[in-house]
Amino acid sequence: MKKLIFILLLINCSLLYAQEPSGKTILEKIDKNYTSENRKSTSTMIIKGRRGTRTLQAQSWIQGLDKSFTQYLSPPREKGTKMLKLRDELWIYSPSTDRIIKIAGHMLRRSLMGSDVSYEDFMEDPKLSNIYKAKLIGKEKVDARNCYILELTAKKEGLSYHSRKLWVDTQRYLPLKEHRYAKSGKLLKTLVINEVFKVENRWYPKKMTFKDVLKKGSGTEFIIDSIQFNVKIPRHIFSKAALRK
């Protein structure tokens, strides 16, 4: 009888374990929420640095994984600044100098508009399953939400972050919290999603705070003011000529 009970317990444990999705499946569901054929959005970035707070507003057009165009709308000092990403290349246009500058090499590690985000972060492949292997290592609550804990490891050398730890909402499949690490294991940056919203049958971050732990300040807050998925985008937008228009 004891042997039978033991066998039944083993079967039940196996069934419970089998019900949990794999790390790979969870990561692919995150990608499904984040990526689309194309999208258009307006956003607000609040940079809380050691010398004060700055607020910028931008409009962006993104096509697939390789093309994006961003135009800053305010404040007056940054208005008209534009960024163009084509695959692994990035250009920035500054209206004050009327110059187009290519951001490459060590310049990619610099801060984007003084925020806690680097140009490398901006250039990263948005589809995490393309660049990381995922392992489910546990479950935990974040702000009263049940979360899977995922451990991500880089598939190749040279990524900005060798590993990451994500706390992923078990129902919405969004990472509510994230830690990003160097190859040495040193924590480099954190991300916290403060608010989410549902857009066209997908969950998406509404407000999030990005923090470079090596910098002073309270981090950079991002707010999605509006977003549309699978919209038509004129082809000329993703060209260097559009930077000066």
Residue 37 is part of a domain; what is its CATH number? Answer: 2.50.20.10
pTM of the model: 0.87
Pairing of strands 67-74, 132-142: unpaired
> d(Cα 12, Cα 65) in Å, to the nearest integer?
42
Task: Answer yes or no: is 43 within a domain.
Answer: yes
Whether omega before 75 lies within 30 degrees of 0, making that bond cis, reads yes
Task: Answer yes or no: is 3 within a domain.
Answer: no
Task: Answer yes or no: is 225 within a domain.
Answer: yes
Task: Answer yes or no: is 90 within a domain.
Answer: yes
Phi-psi region of 114 (alpha: psi -120 to 50; beta: other; left: phi over 0): left
Task: Answer yes or no: is 41 within a domain.
Answer: yes
How many CB atoms sit inside 10 A of residue 205's CB?
Answer: 21
Task: Answer yes or no: is 59 within a domain.
Answer: yes
> d(Cα 202, Cα 204) in Å, to the nearest integer?
6
Half-sphere exposure of 187 (CA within 13 A, CB side): 10
pLDDT in 10s for each residue of the chain, 245 residues: 555 454 545 555 444 445 789 999 999 999 999 998 999 999 999 999 888 899 999 999 999 989 999 999 999 999 999 999 999 999 999 999 999 999 999 999 999 999 999 999 999 988 999 999 999 999 999 999 999 999 999 999 989 999 999 999 999 999 999 999 999 999 999 999 999 999 988 999 999 999 999 998 899 999 999 999 989 999 899 999 999 88
Question: How many residues can be counted in the chain?
Answer: 245
Residue 90's domain comprises 23-243
Task: Answer yes or no: is 102 within a domain.
Answer: yes
8 A C-beta contact, residue 42 and residue 59: yes
8 A C-beta contact, residue 46 and residue 223: yes
Task: Answer yes or no: is 17 within a domain.
Answer: no
**Contacts for 188 with CB less than 8 Å, ≥ 6 apart:** 161, 180, 181, 182, 212, 213, 214
8 A C-beta contact, residue 97 and residue 112: no
Residue type, position 177, single letter: K
Q: Give, for 1, the enclosing helix (H) or strand (E).
A: none
Burial of 230 (0-12, 13-18, 19+ CB in 10 A): exposed
Q: How many structural domains are present in the chain?
A: 1
For residue 177 the two structure tokens come to: 């919290």
